[in-house]
Amino acid sequence: MKKGYKILLGASIFLLVVVALLLIMSLLNVWALEKWDVFANVTITDEGGAFELNKGSQDLTFGKLELPGASTRFINFTNSYDFPVVLKMSAEGTIAPLLRLEDVEIESRQAKTISLSVVTTPETELGYYEGRVKFRLLAAK
């Protein structure tokens, strides 16, 4: 009886560890279908806003903004998979608090225009902000 109890206890602990690891991996988006990062920047100035275009680059350049202000860039995304996907976006770096990002669900074989915005308030400090926008493409649940 004692040997059977030890085997059952060991199997239960092993199963619990496996389930915990799978949950952690799921929360960290380890199973993303695709992943990519894009450099993003904006200059907050009191000299007047100006449009800036970074030609020949995949960077997200939001230009120069006065306070308060906003600048939006659009990305056209096509879901080439045979199932719905979710495009998850996050940001890091000094630009992260200024970015407005929302996860987007896209149906199979559909296209969507996705907006990414930088929004400033009168309290935003003047200066140059930069960072990375991380895109993770996951199968929709």
Bridge partners of 34, per DSSP, are 137
The pLDDT, as a whole number, for residue 23 is 76
Place of tokens 């906003």: 70
Domain identity same for 6 and 47:
no
CA gap 65, 63 in Å, rounded: 7
Q: Are residues 41 and 96 in the same domain?
A: yes
The pLDDT value recorded for residue 42 is 94
H or E segment to which residue 137 belongs? strand 127-139
Whether the full predicted model's pTM is greater than 0.85, yes or no, is: no
Residues 46 and 23 in one domain: no
Backbone angles phi, psi at 103, to 5 degrees: -65, 145
Using alpha carbons only, what angle is made at residue 117 by residues 120 and 100, rounded to the nearest 5 degrees? 80
Q: Which amino acid is at 71?
A: S
Please state, as a whole number, how many other Cβ atoms lie within 10 Å of the Cβ of residue 43: 18
What's the domain range around 4? 1-31
Mean pLDDT of the region 58-64: 88
Q: What's the pLDDT tens digit per position in 68-90? A: 989 999 999 999 999 999 999 99
